Amino acid sequence: MNTMYETLLRYDPINDKFIPVLATDYSKSADGLEWTFHIRKGVKFHTGNIMDANAVKYSIERTSKLGQGASFIWDAVDRIEVPDPYTVVFKLKYAAPMDIVASSGYAAFIFDPQAVQQHGEEWFKAMHEAGTGPYMLESYDKAGDLVLTRFPDYWRGWEGKHFDKVVFKQVTEPTTRRQMIEAGQADYANQLPLDQIADLKQNPKVRISVTPSFQNLLGMLNTAKKPLSNPDVRRAISYAVPYQDIISSVMLGYASQSRGPVPKGLWGHSDEVPQYTYDPDKARALLEKAGYGKGGLKLLLTCTSGDEQERRVAELMKASLAKLGIELEIRVMNWEQQWDLAKNPDPNKRQDILLFYWWPDYADPYSFLLNLFHSEQEVVFNLSYYKNPEYDRLIEEGHQISGVDRQQAIAKYVEAQKILVEDAAALFLYDQQYVRPLAASLQGFVDNPAYPHVVWWYDCYREEAK
Amino acid sequence: MGLVVAPLALSLLVACGKPATQEPIKPQVAVYANSSEVMVFWDPSESF
């Protein structure tokens, strides 16, 4: 999507800077309730129509109105004004960080209103696009390849070195992805098992990119069902996880144990948030206290098929819990089945532990804190089913001031995370690094943790090392 | 947001159980080998 569509800004979290894209600059009022973005002139959509402030307003209002995906990022917007064709003013209900919102890798794309008005609301779903990005859709085969080709009128132009086309191939078998990289048939492959990385390092035609990410693995604990409705049992499980074994044997060191849900490197992460360490004696004592000292507990853990790392984490947990007399059943399911089970109307019919990853919709800790742990009327992603009014209050207050006083927001977010850890609302397993195998000839690749799994193809080109 | 694994449809490559046999990359074509179905939220308003 980020190859076909663009946003007002792009965020560089390493340097905490915003890069102008469809907006050339922006400013905010002292109270953080009014944000003004100046829109770049001379930008065309792939349809040939001109991108302007009205298109920005339309795109964001439509996204907010549909209420799908990550549209919640615009919740602070009260109204959008267009004082002239190249100025957009956001009037907010509270001081949300609109620069972060406007640079989101999801739900912040600007598209051609005329395409919707002309072809109807279902036009996009019939596999059309109307972005401003450097590459436009050439073809898409559901079973195979997505082919994007240069947009000749792209506003940044085509001087310098760029690819003509970008082909996305669906290659489910990791060995095949590896072979493609080794044989020079692919420039980039995602999710290669880490044990294959060591071999690839020896190959001069392959380069391994290792960068910190905002992606972490969590074990969501079913707080709405016995026995994990008892915080002491959840704490016992938290002490029974062999974190360092997981990091060394499953992640081969390409990860660090999480401190709460906000990953290291993202603002809102704090070393003040405590960690559980592997301590079977403490786990036993807590189980004893909870009335499960003699064992006999059975728990169901679900994880996602096709993800070898999740499965291996589950196996290590199973072995560790067995030593405490807890029988862990591991059920590997595809995501839809797993999610259906997790949303069963009866909490007692749901899993006890669910392994899944989170990365932020936008580079804001609120993405983790809201989606994963804020009370929900209807189950979506709070798969611990955690409900705590004090926690909810803290993150809402933090969010509402984060556009004007980030430090105060962080203080509230850290407090909220301490509550989560104290309540053992989830297993905070690890913050992972992204380990990407690339063709050694691929130049210009930058792994931006705010945009997981996005390759900025316009910035890339191929050149053999001299 | 964090759904790492999209529905996995078997690729032809896997179905055949053979190593990759694609043509070598053309010089100006970039190739991204993705582990699952390419996640394109065709409606840009609904992406996550």
Query: Distance (Å) from the C-alpha of residue B29 to the closest C-alpha of chain A?
Result: 5
Contact in structure between A234 and A223 (CB atoms under 8 Å): yes
The pairing of beta strand A461-462 with beta strand A297-304: unpaired
Beta bridge partners of B32: A168, A188
CA distances (Å), origin A444, targets A212, A457, A462: 18, 8, 9
pLDDT under 50 in chain A at which residues?
Answer: none
The verdict on A159 touching B (C-beta cutoff 8 Å) is no
Residue B35 and residue A171: Cβ atoms within 8 Å?
yes
Report the distance separating Cα A168 and Cα A135, nearest Å. Answer: 13
Non-local CB neighbours of A290 within 8 Å, separated by 6+ positions: A227, A230, A232, A233, A236
Residue A190 and residue B35: Cβ atoms within 8 Å?
yes
Residue B29 and residue A164: Cβ atoms within 8 Å?
yes
Q: Are A450 and A425 in a shared domain?
A: no
**Which chain B residues contact residue A441 at CB under 8 A?**
none
Locate the chain B residue with the closest alpha carbon to A65.
B45
pLDDT interval class at B46 (50, 70, 90)? confident
- Taking the CA atoms of residue A182, residue A185, residue A188 and residue A189 in that order, the dihedral angle to the nearest 10 degrees is -70
Q: What total number of domains does chain A contain? A: 3
Q: Are A98 and A152 in a shared domain?
A: no
Residue A126 lies in a domain: no
In a mutagenesis test of the B interface, which of A109, A112, A173 is the best target, namely the one with the most B β-carbons within 10 Å?
Answer: A173
Report the distance separating Cα A339 and Cα A322, nearest Å. Answer: 26
Report the distance separating Cα A168 and Cα A146, nearest Å. Answer: 5
Q: Are A233 and A378 in a shared domain?
A: yes
Q: Is the pTM of this model over 0.95?
A: no
CA distances (Å), origin A73, targets A16, A47, A102, A169, A257: 19, 27, 9, 31, 28
How confident is the model at residue B19, as a pLDDT? Answer: 37
pLDDT interval class at B39 (50, 70, 90)? low
- Maximum CA pair distance of chain A? 72
The verdict on A107 touching B (C-beta cutoff 8 Å) is yes
Report the CATH number at residue A67. 3.90.76.10
Taking a contact as any Cβ pair under 8 Å apart, which residues of chain A between 329 and 348 contact chain B?
334-336
Residue A140 and residue B20: Cβ atoms within 8 Å?
no
CA distances (Å), origin A53, targets A37, A75, A153, A457: 9, 20, 19, 26
Residue A118 lies in a domain: no
Phi/psi for A4 (5° steps) reads -95, -30
Q: Are A396 and A423 in a shared domain?
A: yes
How confident is the model at residue B14, as a pLDDT? Answer: 29
Q: Are A28 and A169 in a shared domain?
A: no
- Taking the CA atoms of residue A36, residue A42, residue A48 and residue A49 in that order, the dihedral angle to the nearest 10 degrees is 40
B7, pLDDT greater than 50? no
The verdict on A380 touching B (C-beta cutoff 8 Å) is no
Q: Are A395 and A445 in a shared domain?
A: no
| Cis bond before residue A227 (omega within 30° of 0) | yes
Q: Are A229 and A294 in a shared domain?
A: yes
Residue A120 lies in a domain: no
Burial A362-381 (b: 16+ CB within 10 A, else e): bbbbbbbbbbbbbeeeebeb
Residue A170 and residue B42: Cβ atoms within 8 Å?
no
Residue A121 lies in a domain: no
**Which chain B residues contact residue A127 at CB under 8 A?**
42
Residue B32 and residue A187: Cβ atoms within 8 Å?
yes
HSE of A251, CA atoms in CB hemisphere, 13 A: 23
Q: Are A244 and A346 in a shared domain?
A: yes
Report the CATH number at residue A246. 3.10.105.10
In a mutagenesis test of the A interface, which of B26, B31, B38 is the best target, namely the one with the most A β-carbons within 10 Å?
Answer: B31
**Which chain B residues contact residue A219 at CB under 8 A?**
none
Report the distance separating Cα A27 and Cα A13, nearest Å. Answer: 19
Q: Are A80 and A96 in a shared domain?
A: yes
Q: Is A304 helix (H, G, I), strand (E, B) or coil?
A: strand
The verdict on A167 touching B (C-beta cutoff 8 Å) is yes
Instruction: List pLDDT tens digits, range A168-177.
Output: 998 888 889 9
HSE of B11, CA atoms in CB hemisphere, 13 A: 25
Instruction: List pLDDT tens digits, range A69-111.
Output: 889 999 999 999 999 999 999 999 999 999 999 999 999 999 9
Nearest to A335 among B5, B47, B48 (CB): B5
Report the distance separating Cα A213 and Cα A436, nearest Å. Answer: 12
At residue A244's C-alpha, the angle toward residues A421 and A438, to 5°, is 105
Residue A186 and residue B31: Cβ atoms within 8 Å?
yes
In a mutagenesis test of the B interface, which of A169, A262, A371 is the best target, namely the one with the most B β-carbons within 10 Å?
Answer: A169
Phi/psi for A316 (5° steps) reads -65, -40
How confident is the model at residue A55, as a pLDDT? Answer: 98
How confident is the model at residue A188, as a pLDDT? Answer: 94
Report the distance separating Cα A432 and Cα A123, nearest Å. Answer: 38
3-state secondary structure A209-267: EEEEEEEEEEEEECCCCCCCCCHHHHHHHHHHCCHHHHHHHHCCCCEEECCCCCCCCCE
Which residue has 């132009």 as its token pair?
A: A157
Query: Distance (Å) from the C-alpha of residue A7 to the closest C-alpha of chain B?
Result: 11
Locate the chain B residue with the closest alpha carbon to A455.
B32
Q: Are A361 and A397 in a shared domain?
A: yes
Residue A129 lies in a domain: no
**Domain interval for residue A304:** 213-432
**Which chain A residues contact residue B38 at CB under 8 A?**
146, 168, 170
How long a stretch of residues is chain B? 48
The pairing of beta strand A426-439 with beta strand A206-221: antiparallel
Helix axes A231-240, A280-289, angle to 10 degrees: 160
The verdict on B8 touching A (C-beta cutoff 8 Å) is yes
Residue A170 lies in a domain: yes
Residue A123 lies in a domain: no
Q: Are A81 and A148 in a shared domain?
A: no
Residue A127 lies in a domain: no
How confident is the model at residue B21, as a pLDDT? Answer: 44
Q: Are A302 and A316 in a shared domain?
A: yes
pLDDT interval class at B47 (50, 70, 90)? confident
Q: Where is the domain boundary, A113, A143, A160?
A: A113
Contact in structure between A424 and A238 (CB atoms under 8 Å): yes
Report the CATH number at residue A167. 3.40.190.10
pLDDT interval class at B38 (50, 70, 90)? low
How confident is the model at residue A466, as a pLDDT? Answer: 57
